[in-house]
Structure 1
Amino acid sequence: MLSPESAEIVRATLPVVGASLDTITTRFYTSMFTERPDLLDGLFNRGNQANGEQRRALAGSIAGFAKALLDHPEERPDRLLSRIAHKHTAVGVTDDQYVIVHKYLFGAIADVLGEAATPDVIAAWDEVYWLMGGALIALEARIYAQVGADDGRTWRQWRVVERREETPDVVSFLLRPIGDDPVPPARPGQYVSVRVRMPDGVHQLRQYSLSGTGEEGLRRITVKRVRGGEGAPEGEVSTLLYDTVRPGDELTLSAPFGDVVLEDGDAPLVFASAGIGCTPITAMLEHLVATGSRRRVLLLHADTSPADHALRQDMERLADALPAAERIFWYEADAPQGARTGRMDLTGVQIPRNAVAYMCGPLPFMRDVRGRLRAAGVAARDIHYEVFGPDLWLGEDS
């Protein structure tokens, strides 16, 4: 994919550029938002800007893409690109915004690298950028077409028909579409963006997994209020939704996006989740029950206590309705009879042969589970994961 000349330069400069990427992306976002503050209104997540996760995810994806081009020049890293493309379409990224990003990103590269940013180096990394950008633009166009939307215009109003308190910090909203236009279908495991106007007038977007669907086109999202503390700010959108949204209110939702979806088949399934990571897993269980699946299912979930386990009754009910399902829950406190005490420990847990696994939860949790699944013989290609927020694992997963 890369020209031989550019590949040689990128290979030689990747260690220097990679070591500087955090500084480069910090400079990039600072300069871009200084000149284009409008991009923070309804596109970029300012919470992820404040905690640095977005710049680290961007740095990881650039480095991962460049390394993939060098290590496998005849292959396109579609798994990496698909994850990014779904994240982009969920917030309505459009083709022209790649030009804006290019301007500020390469300005930051020149500033940070200084004399090392020779014309040949800039040209080689420019080729990397547009190979990645061009592939993403094409993928995003196909995703937009699949949901029947023009670039970025996937928004629709939904009415809250039910609010259910799941735990002291988690609430579910059952939603009905407003109007008669057809609703794009949702696959189990996908998420939607919720677009809200904050008290200061700025629009912010957040993604929430569809934790279930219902009859007549209903959909459910489950929101965990992110509490601040120890230097971390509280979640501004999750707090607003938790504190203010009631039945009868309207929410602005995107079409469903996300490439981590439950695929049909006969292979055994392993679902592993922790905390609010149970939301896409619950939707997958619901789909299996609705389709009368007889697949073997091993459901694994870890939480701080039963009272903090959102959707616990749904997960128990759905797993018990599947003829070949087993569920094991771990709780750090107040574990009831039949559950296990402590954090998830797969020692002694029999992982089905030829299983396909789906994980969702904090990155340290998923790293540990992934290692244990690999040790149990699950193929890397059969382990799928969803990350809430910027994917800091992107580019290093294999």
Structure 2
Amino acid sequence: MLSEKSTATVRATLPAVGAAVGDIAELFYTKLFAAHPELIRDLFNRGNQNAGLQKQALAGSIAAFATHLVGHPDTRPDVMLSRIAHKHASLGVTRDQYAVVHQHLFEAIAEILGEAVTPEVAQAWDEVYWLMAGALIAVEERLYAEQQVAAGDVWREWTVTGRVEETADCTTFRLTPADGAPAPAHRPGQYVSVQVELPDGARQIRQYSLSTSPGSPVRAITVKRVHGPAAEGPDGEVSHHLHARVHAGDTLRVSAPYGDLVLEDSGAPVLLASAGIGCTPMLSMLEHLADTGRTAPVTVLHADRSPADHPLRGDHRALTHKLADASARFWYEEAAEPGDGRGRMDLSAVPVAPDTRAYLCGPLPFMRAVREQLIAKGVPARDIHYEVFGPDLWLASA
């Protein structure tokens, strides 16, 4: 809960801070990486840093959190906090790192806003920061406890037992713990972090959804190779490394599974909508539904460039056919086959059962468009859940 005094101060200064939050984030990361170069080398995604995506995400989360506290001082934006905490846990972030962030963030705030940062203003925004940090720390430590690991100690060596070239740019890596111990349990839709050592010595980390169900004897990730800077993201240096250098018999450093986009254990109808490599968490959910004999309606939707670019397309269809009441429809920009949609995903002719729980994964514009169509069909916003690969820019671009 934000104190009354700080609420008034934050409300009064929020327009100025909000207008400058992008510059603050830029200077913060400059200061942070100058003091701790190991963080950009071994923890932060330097591709996202170079493209400015992480700065946008930080700015968006700070602005959203402060705005929420001012408007609802007795509550917290738990959905946003949960998503951030799961990502932090998959990276092994620990409590002491929040003090480091605090130091450089508040130096950046003071430098950007200058004399506007009076002691009263500094104290109010300090309270905002530690409310957010404290909430994240609490969730992250709970997540570590659930995985039965010490805070930050999320890494294990896994052996690649096989690889399958799904498409020209998507490869599935089958994994098993190198120590022979059981794989940690995961929920359908969760992801793991994978850390690789690149030729320049950097140990970069990326998140990849587990594309198999919790009941499967196999753990697998399907990785799309990213070709150079693009509108949806920066260079894929880790994906290129995995495609070019990692083969059966090699080992990878893999985190415990995390992620808050998980399939609810209920009897409600389910809709799974994805685009591109966003199908991977949907496949885990779909396989789980098939394994558990779900009888409620299941609607499977996917959009891609072409059938040849659709990763795990055969699994998408085969798993759908295993369910008692399920249908699948795909949309392709090119080479659509009879029965497939052409162009972008259009839900106008797709029936949506009452009380449907919808799960979305793909590029942000795709998810926004599908969410709007679902809401127009009567699906409440609370029943539409999403996952973003990379920094979550949903709030930053709202």
TM-score interval, normalised by the smaller of the two chains: over 0.9
2:246: which partner in 1? 245
1:385: which partner in 2? 386
1:122: which partner in 2? 122
The letter of the residue matching 2:205 is L
Q: In 1, Cα distance between the equivalents of 2:297 and 2:42?
A: 42
Q: In 1, Cα distance between the equivalents of 2:97 and 2:374?
A: 39
DSSP 3-state at the match of 1:377: coil
Q: Determine if contact 1:212/1:282 at 8 Å carries over to the other structure.
A: yes
Q: Determine if contact 2:160/2:252 at 8 Å carries over to the other structure.
A: yes
Q: Determine if contact 1:359/1:385 at 8 Å carries over to the other structure.
A: yes
The Cα shift of 1:349 comes to 1.6
DSSP 3-state at the match of 1:90: helix
Q: Is residue 142 of structure 2 the alignment partner of residue 142 of structure 1?
A: yes
* 5+ long unaligned stretches in structure 2: none
1:314: which partner in 2? 315
* 5+ long unaligned stretches in structure 1: none
Listed one character per residue, the Cα deviations across residues 153-184 of structure 1 (whole Å, up to 9, x for unaligned) are: 01111111110001100000011111143432
1:13: which partner in 2? 13
Q: In 1, Cα distance between the equivalents of 2:395 and 2:247?
A: 36
- In the alignment of these two chains, the number of paired residues is 397
The Cα shift of 1:70 comes to 1.4
1:276: which partner in 2? 277
The letter of the residue matching 1:11 is R
The Cα shift of 1:233 comes to 5.0
Q: In 1, Cα distance between the equivalents of 2:396 and 2:9?
A: 20
Q: Determine if contact 1:213/1:220 at 8 Å carries over to the other structure.
A: no
Please list, as runs of the form range in 1=range in 2, the aligned pairs for 1:346-385 lying within 5 A after superposition. 346-385=347-386
Q: In 2, Cα distance between the equivalents of 1:215 and 1:378?
A: 30
TM-score by length of 1: 0.97
DSSP 3-state at the match of 1:391: coil
Q: Determine if contact 1:184/1:255 at 8 Å carries over to the other structure.
A: yes
Q: Determine if contact 1:183/1:217 at 8 Å carries over to the other structure.
A: no
1:188: which partner in 2? 188
DSSP 3-state at the match of 1:334: coil
1:109: which partner in 2? 109
Q: Determine if contact 2:59/2:396 at 8 Å carries over to the other structure.
A: no
DSSP 3-state at the match of 2:195: strand
TM-score by length of 2: 0.97
- In percent, how many aligned pairs have the same letter? 57
Aligned structure 1 segments of 4 or more residues deviating by more than 6 angstroms: none
DSSP 3-state at the match of 2:389: coil
1:323: which partner in 2? 324
Q: Determine if contact 1:148/1:184 at 8 Å carries over to the other structure.
A: no
The Cα shift of 1:395 comes to 7.0
Q: In 2, Cα distance between the equivalents of 1:289 and 1:171?
A: 23
Q: Determine if contact 2:352/2:377 at 8 Å carries over to the other structure.
A: yes
The letter of the residue matching 1:156 is R
1:305: which partner in 2? 306
DSSP 3-state at the match of 1:70: helix
Q: Is residue 268 of structure 2 the alignment partner of residue 286 of structure 1?
A: no
Listed one character per residue, the Cα deviations across residues 293-329 of structure 1 (whole Å, up to 9, x for unaligned) are: 1121111110010000001001000011111001110
Q: Is residue 265 of structure 2 the alignment partner of residue 264 of structure 1?
A: yes
2:49: which partner in 1? 49
The Cα shift of 1:229 comes to 4.9
1:36: which partner in 2? 36
2:161: which partner in 1? 161
Cα 1:233–1:261 change in 2 (3 A) is: closer
Q: Determine if contact 2:215/2:288 at 8 Å carries over to the other structure.
A: no
The letter of the residue matching 2:263 is L
User: Which of 181-190 and 297-306 deviates more?
Assistant: 181-190
Q: CA RMSD for the aligned pairs?
A: 1.5
Q: In 2, Cα distance between the equivalents of 1:41 and 1:299?
A: 39
1:93: which partner in 2? 93
Q: Determine if contact 1:176/1:217 at 8 Å carries over to the other structure.
A: no
The Cα shift of 1:289 comes to 0.8
Q: Is residue 65 of structure 2 the alignment partner of residue 74 of structure 1?
A: no
DSSP 3-state at the match of 1:293: coil
